[in-house]
Amino acid sequence: MKRKVFCGILILLLYLWIPQSAQAQFEPLKNKIVVIDPGHGGSDPGAIGVDGISESEYTLRLAKKILLLNNKTNPNEIYLTRYADSLISLKDRIFLSKTLNAELYISLHFNHSTSASAKGIEIFLSRKISSSYRDSSVLLAYRLHENLVKSIGFSPRGIKFKDFLVLKETTKNMTSVLIEICFISNPDEAKFMRYDDSMKRLAHLILNSI
């Protein structure tokens, strides 16, 4: 309970940190170039869930659901950094995002812990976040965190700052966040992710958040 309260206070403080004028101007993107980056792939499977399914498979499935849903409604121009189980270097993911002149970058990941009880969603921003994209990145992280916690019921682990290479390099040019959606080492959360309907719900919430 204390952890949930702390995470809630931290998220609120981050939100209040954004000027009211910027909050009022922030609207979901339409007709924008968005890069969805399904983490890992190929010889890099990422974490392995309790059901034996790799993180790279989960992220690709979710990214494709987001792309499919977007294509039906066509609000944005969305590109994936990979469309198959292939290994794409971090530098190539960054290069693609910059070459496309993307306005938004979302890196998809799933968490893992040696403790089967670890659970919940957390979202990362770069410590070196550009002042030009600070407000939009914090607001996007806030919207994603709140929507997935309220609609799915994931435990809130908060919005955190860490200089992952893909964040550090993209935040200079665009709004960027990295999502650790849930723990595939947790039996309940791994079970949730196995269902196609769960992927569709997540894709819908993520697309609506941007």
Q: In whole angstroms, what is the distance from residue 137 CA to residue 119 CA?
A: 24
pLDDT at residue 27 in the model: 56
pLDDT at residue 113 in the model: 97
Runs of H (alpha helix) within 121-162: 134-152
pLDDT at residue 28 in the model: 56
Q: In whole angstroms, what is the distance from residue 204 CA to residue 178 CA?
A: 17
As averages over each run of 10 residues, the pLDDT of the chain (210 residues) reads 46 49 51 95 97 97 96 89 97 98 97 97 94 93 96 96 96 96 98 96 94
Give the amino acid at 24.
Answer: A
Handedness of CA 89, 91, 92, 94 (dihedral sign): positive
C-alpha R_g of the chain: 16
Domain ranges across the chain: 2-209
pLDDT at residue 2 in the model: 45
User: Where is 51: in which H helix or E strand?
Assistant: none
- Domain 2-209: CATH architecture, name and number where available: 3-Layer(aba) Sandwich (3.40)
Q: What is the arrangement of strands in the sheet containing 33-38, beginning at the earlier edge strand?
A: 77-80, 33-38, 104-111, 175-183, 121-125, 156-161
pLDDT at residue 29 in the model: 56
pLDDT at residue 104 in the model: 96
